Amino acid sequence: MRWISYSDSVYAVRFSCPDGADTSLMLTNLTDEKLVELAVSNDPEAFGEIVKRWERKIFALCFGMLGREDEARDAAQETFIAAYRNISNFRGEAKVSSWLHRIAVNQCLTVKRRAKTRSEEFFDDEAGDTENVFIAPTHRSPARAAEQGERLTIVRQAVSSLPVDLRQVIVMKEFEEMTFQEISDTLELPLSTVKSRLYTALRQLRMKLERLPMEIS
């Protein structure tokens, strides 16, 4: 099998693979922009690689905006459908990641608006729809379970390696689910310091986890 440099053209990469069986393996080594070019030229596998590469990040962004996993999953799915439909409009002025982020933000706002309208329509329904959400059981293959276990180990190590004051804020926020004001009162720190510490902690954590594969199989 003849491999060429990643900086060469997409077509060169494709042509370097004689039988086309290892196309997906080659796609993983391409940049986002080249994958978009391939997707524009009606290559479904290229767009599949984009989804695989960004699915988890877009889902995390949606989860950060919506705060619910089921809604975030729907919004992430809607994001990639919208991206596939409008991929021909991508002009390359911005990064692919920024383009996807913007679509995701739009989708999240749409989901929020829809949820707000729905809650106003069923305002009299005391039970509400939050308790009766149907979530499809996620099937965990052995490969995915192994990947998840590896990721958890890395996350645990990354959190443990944070300085104590940053780790403390993360634990209080994520595990104890305290508000910023409660953390500020508990640690006797200014509110701005608490936010700054959490922001720094998340940034450092992100850098430590860069080597972690972000895709969800």
Partner 1 sequence: MARVNASNCRFANDALPYMYGELTSPEASEFELHLLDCTACTDEFAEISNARYEVYEWKKLEFEPLTTPVFEIPYVPASEGFSFVDKIRAAFGGWAVPGGAFAALAVALLTFGPLLWTSDVKDIVVVNSNLASPEPVDLLSDRVVSEKLPSQVAGVPVKKEEEPSQRREGYVDRVPQRNVRAVGSPRPVRSPRPVESKQTSAENQRNDTPTLNDFAEDEDTSLRLAQLFEDIDTSD
Note the residues at the interface with partner 1 (CB under 8 A). Answer: 56-57, 59-61, 63-65, 67, 94, 97-98, 101-102, 104-106, 109, 112, 148, 151-152, 155-156, 158-159, 170, 173-175, 179-180, 192, 195, 198-199, 202-203, 205-206, 209, 212, 214
Residues whose CB falls within 8 Å of the CB of residue 133, separated by 6 or more in sequence, listed in order: 70
Q: Output the smallest distance, CB 44 to partner 1, in A.
A: 25
* Residue whose token pair is 């009606």: 42
CB of 174 to partner 1, least distance (A): 5
Which CB atom, from 51 or from 158, has the smaller least distance to partner 1?
A: 158
- What is the nearest approach in angstroms of partner 1 to the Cβ of residue 106? 7
- Given the complex with partner 1, which of 16 and 148 has the nearer CB atom? 148
Which tokens go with 55? 């699915």
Q: Report the nearest approach of partner 1 to the CB of residue 61 (Å).
A: 4
Is 13 or 72 the residue whose CB approaches partner 1 more closely? Answer: 72
Separation in Å, CA 152 to CA 8, 155, 158, 159: 36, 5, 10, 10
Say how far apart CA 112 and CA 78 lie, in whole Å. 13
Minimum distance, C-beta of residue 53 to partner 1, in the bound complex (Å)? 13
Under a CB-based contact definition with an 8 Å cutoff, are residues 159 and 170 in contact? yes
Question: Given the complex with partner 1, which of 44 and 149 has the nearer CB atom?
Answer: 149
Chain Cα centroid distance, residue 63: 8
Nearer to partner 1, 14 or 195 (CB): 195
Selection from 152, 156, 148 nearest residue 215 by Cα = 148
The answer to whether the beta carbons of residues 134 and 172 sit under 8 Å apart is no
